[in-house]
Amino acid sequence: MVSTVAIKAFVLVAASLPFTQAQTIQDGNQVVAANETTVAPGAVQVSPDSSDSGVSYFSFEATQLTPDVIANLTALNLTGIEYFDFANTSSSSTTTKRGYSASCKTLPGDAAWPPHLVWSVLDLLLGGALIKSVPVAAPCYSDWAQYDPDQCSTITAQWNSPQFQSSQPTGIDWPLFEGVTCLPPTLGPTNATCTLGGMPSYIVNVTNVAQIQLAVNFARSLNLRLSVKNQGHDFNSKNVGAGSLSVWTAHLNDIQYLGPKFSIGSFTGPALKIGAGVETLQVYEYADSHGLEVVGGVARTVGLGGGYIAGGGHSPLMSMYGMAADQVLALEVVLPDGRFVSVSENKYPDLFWALRGGGGSTFGIVTSLIIRAYPKLPITTLTFSFGTSENNVTNDTFWEGMDLVWATFPDYADAGHYRYWSIVCASESSCSFSASPHWANNYTTAQLQDFVAPLFANLTALGMPPQNVVYAEYDGVLNAFTNTFAADTEVVGTWTYHTGSRLFPRGNWENATSLAAQSAALRNTAVEAGMMLGYNFKAAVNPTVNQDNAVNPAWRDTLSHTMLGAVWSQTATPDEIAAANQVLTQRLQTWRDVTPGSGAYMNEADINEPDFQQSFYGSNYPRLYALKQQYDPWGVLYAITAVGSEDWYVTGQIPYYPTQNGRLCRVRAA
C-alpha cells in the first residue's frame, strides 16, 4: 500500500538526511495500522461546501492539505514532516527551516539539495504526481537514456504544436528565455546539445489543491525555486526556472455554469466557474453551449484563468465590457504560506485587487476563478487591405492612408469594435496594411458597411481603394473566433524571434502634434523593422463589474496595443541574439518617446523593458510591491518582470538576453 511505503520512506529519510535533528524511528506497520488514509497522500477531503466564496469547490479543490493533516503526520514523530508545514506570515523571515538566511535558491548538486529519498517522500504525499524532468527532445540526443531516433522524428514533427507542447511536462512554447538548451537538432541552434537548462528539475502534475500546497510548503521550507506553469504560453518563458519545482496547473480544467442570476458581492448575473488550466477555446465552447460568451483572447490554447487574466487580458469584447481581469468575481488561491483561501470583494480584498491584473506567479497560485459571462451577441467581421502595390501608390500616399486609419481609432473603439491590424513593409516604397480581422460587436453587415464607408471613401480618394474586402456575420464569439483566427497561426516552440510592445494612449489622438509624432514614429519603425502588428480597442468602462483592480492603469486610456518584433536566423549565436534584442528595445524607445507616461502589456512585452515597474504596473506598483512583501516575504514565487522580481537576479546572463538558465539569487543579502 502506498501509505506503508510512505511511512517506510519517512523512516529512511529520517535516517539519511544530513541535516536532521532528533529522530524517532517508527515501526511503519504500526503507524499504518493507526491510520493509513491520513498519511499518503498528504491530504484530506473537506466538504465541497466549505469554500468561503459561497460557491462549492470543484472536486479537485476539496482535496486539501490542512493543519490537521500536518498535525496527524507530525504526531507520527517522523523527521521531515516539517518541510510540508504551513508558514506563519506574521512571524516570517527569510530564514528557512534549515536555519539559515539563504541568499540564493538551492540548485541540484548543492549539498543542501534534497536527496532522492526526500523527493520520494514528496511524491508519496502527492499521491504519485511528481515527475522528474526530462527535456521533451531528449530522444534526439544520444547522451540521454531516452535516445530514440524514431521518437525524435515524431517529436520534431509535432514540435510547433501548442497542443503537443502543453501535453508534455517540460513542454515549452517559447524556449528562447529558457536558454534554447534542448530542441530537436533540425530546429535548434548549430551543433545543438541537450541539457535541462532553464527547465524545472521536478514537476508536480497537479490534480488537486493539496498537491499545490505540499509543493509550495516544500519549496519554501527547503529554499527551492518554485515555478508555475499553466498552458505555458508566456512569451518570456515566465513559467520555467533552472532547478525549480514546477507546479503544473494545466489539468485543472473543470468548468461550471453558475446560472443566469449568480450573485456575489455587488454582482448579480450570468457567471462561470473555471479551473485555472482551462484553455480559451474550451471556455468559448462551453459558454456558447449555454448561449453565453466571455471576455477572452484570440488563441485557442492560452490558459484563460492562468497568465492571461493575471496579466489583464485583452479581448475582442473589451471595447464593450472591459478587460478580462475586470470580469473576475472571485478566486480560489494557494498562498505562498501554503494556505488555501477564497478571494473576493469581501475576502482578502487586497488580494482580490492584486490578482486581477497584477501578474502571474506573484501573490499565489490560482486554482479556479468565477468570471462574469454575457449573453451571446451577433458579430460582423471585416477583413480588408490596401498598400503601395495598388495603382503605383507612393510611400507617402500609403502613410497618408495610414493617417486616415489612425484617425478612426477613437471612434471605432468607442463603438465597441476590435481591430487586429498589421503593416508589412518589404522596403520603404513597398508597404501594405491589413485589418484581419475587424470585429464589429453587435453589428450587422449593413451597419458595418455604413460605419466604414467614410474611411473607405477617403482611401479610395487617395487612389488606394480597400482590397480583398470580406464581410461575415456570426452568432457570437465562438464562431467569429474560430473562423477569423486560423488554428495554424498558433505556432509555438520557435526561438528565432522576440517581440515587444507599447500601449498608445487616447491623449495622443486629442493633440494634433502628438498624433503626428506618433504617426511618424510608427512609420519609421515599420520601415526599419519590416513588420508591426497591433490592436485597436479600448478597455470599456463597465459598471456591472468591479474595475478597481491592478490592471495597468495605462490600459484604461489605451486605443492601441502595438507590437514589434526582432528576428534572427537559426545560426545566430547568443551574442547575436542579444544584439537583435537590444535593437528591438531601442526601436521601442521611439514608441516610448511618443507615449510618455503610458506603458506596455506585461503579457506581450519586451523582456528588456526599461523601468518595467512603471511600464507594466504604472502607479499600482508601490501597492503591489507592499502586498508582495506581505504575502510572500520568503520570495517563494518569482517570475522575471513580476512584482518584486527586481529583488532577485539569475546568475550568468548575457545583457539583453536574460534566460532562466542560472541560479536565482537575492539582490540584497537577506
Ligand X SMILES: Cc1cc2nc3c(=O)[nH]c(=O)nc-3n(C[C@H](O)[C@H](O)[C@H](O)COP(=O)(O)OP(=O)(O)OC[C@H]3O[C@@H](n4cnc5c(N)ncnc54)[C@H](O)[C@@H]3O)c2cc1C
The residue within the footprint of ligand NAG, chosen from 20, 394, 483, 651 (CB under 6 A), is 394
**Beta pairing class for 226-229 and 245-248:** parallel
User: To which residue does cell 530537436 refer?
Assistant: 184
Question: What does 139 bind: ligand NAG, ligand X, none (CB cut-off 5 to 8 Å by kind)?
Answer: none
Number of residues that bind ligand X (CB under 6 A): 32
DSSP H helical ranges for 315-422: 318-321, 349-355, 395-407, 409-414
> Residue 636, interface with ligand X (CB under 6 A)?
no
Largest pairwise CA distance in the chain:
90
Q: Which stretch binds ligand X (CB under 6 A): 34-42, 199-207, 292-300, 345-353?
A: 292-300
Residues between 590 and 619 with contacts to ligand X, criterion CB under 6 A: 603-604
Map the footprint of ligand X across residues 258-277, applying CB under 6 A.
Answer: 276
Binders of ligand X in range 537-596 (CB under 6 A):
none
Question: What is the distance between the alpha carbons of residues 292 and 373, in angstroms, rounded to a whole number?
Answer: 6
Whole-Å CA distances, 325 to 229, 286, 332, 352, 644: 19, 19, 15, 10, 21
How far apart CA 311 and CA 329 sit, in angstroms, is: 16
* The three cell numbers locating residue 147: 535516445
Q: Is 297 in the site for ligand X (CB under 6 A)?
A: yes
- The distance of Cα 491 from the centroid of its chain, to the nearest Å, equals 17
298 binds ligand X (CB under 6 A): yes
Grid cell digits, residue 43: 491530504
The binder of 347, among ligand X, ligand NAG, none, by C-beta within 5 to 8 A per type, is: none
Residue with the three cell numbers 492603469: 553
Q: Which does 355 bind (CB under 5 to 8 A by kind): ligand X, ligand NAG, none?
A: none
Which partner in ligand NAG, ligand X, none is near 181 (CB below 5 to 8 A by kind)? none
Cell, residue 307: 497568465
- What are the C-alpha distances in Å from 314 to residues 108, 173, 424, 477, 539? 39, 20, 23, 14, 8
> Residue 85: CB partners within 8 Å, gap ≥ 6?
70, 74, 217, 221, 338
Are the beta carbons of 646 and 387 closer than 8 angstroms?
no
Which grid coordinates belong to 494? 520557435
Query: Contact with ligand NAG (CB under 6 A): which of 404, 551, 580, 607?
Result: 404
Q: Which of 105, 225, 238, 498 binds ligand X (CB under 6 A)?
A: 238
Contacts 24+ apart (CB under 8 A), 570-575: 570/187, 570/188, 570/189, 570/190, 570/496, 571/189, 571/190, 572/189, 572/496, 574/654, 574/657, 575/654
**DSSP one-letter string for 70-91:** HHHHHHTT-TTGGGGSPP-STT
Region 481-540 residues binding ligand NAG, contact defined as CB under 6 A: 511, 513-514, 517
DSSP string covering 133-165, please?
Answer: ---TTGGG-TTSTT--HHHHHHHHHHTT-HHHH
Q: Which does 276 bind (CB under 5 to 8 A by kind): ligand X, ligand NAG, none?
A: ligand X
CB of 236 to ligand X, least distance (A): 8
- Fill in the per-residue mask, 237 to 266: x = in contact with ligand NAG (CB under 6 A), - = not in contact: --------------x---------------
Element (H, E) at 28: helix 28-34
| Alpha-carbon span 602 to 503, nearest angstrom | 11
Least separation in angstroms between residue 238's CB and ligand X is 3
Q: Should residue 345 be labelled a site residue for ligand X when binding is judged by CB under 6 A? A: no
Site for ligand NAG in 355-384 (CB under 6 A): 377
Using CB under 6 A, which residues numbered 204 to 233 contact ligand X? 228-233
278 burial class (0-12, 13-18, 19+ CB within 10 angstroms)? buried
Site string for ligand NAG, 650-669 (x = CB under 6 A): --------------------
Q: Which stretch binds ligand X (CB under 6 A): 191-199, 235-243, 380-388, 465-473?
A: 235-243
Q: x/- binding map, residues 363-382, to ligand X, per CB under 6 A?
A: --xx----------------
Pick one of ligand NAG, ligand X, none as the site partner of residue 69 (Cβ within 5 to 8 A by kind): ligand NAG
Chain position carrying cell 536558454: 179
- CA angle 350/353/358 to nearest 5° reads 115
Q: Which lies closer to ligand NAG via its Cβ, residue 527 or residue 665?
A: 527
Number of residues that bind ligand NAG (CB under 6 A): 42
Minimum distance, C-beta of residue 584 to ligand X, in the bound complex (Å): 18
Position among 128, 259, 454, 597 found at the interface with ligand NAG (CB under 6 A)? 454
Query: Which one of ligand NAG, ligand X, none interacts with residue 408, CB within 5 to 8 A by kind?
Result: ligand NAG
Pick between residue 238 and residue 502 the one whose CB is nearest to ligand X. 238
Please enumerate in sequence order all residues whose Cβ is within 8 A of that of 626, keeping only pairs 6 or more positions apart, or say none: none
C-beta of 68 vs 575, nearer to ligand NAG: 68
Residue ranges in contact with ligand NAG by CB under 6 A: 35-38, 44, 66, 68-69, 72, 75-77, 85-88, 131, 169, 190-191, 205, 207, 251, 377, 391-392, 394-396, 404, 407-408, 428-429, 442, 454-455, 458, 511, 513-514, 517
Residue ranges in contact with ligand X by CB under 6 A: 228-235, 238-239, 249, 276, 297-299, 302-303, 306-308, 310-311, 313-314, 360-361, 365-366, 490, 603-604, 639
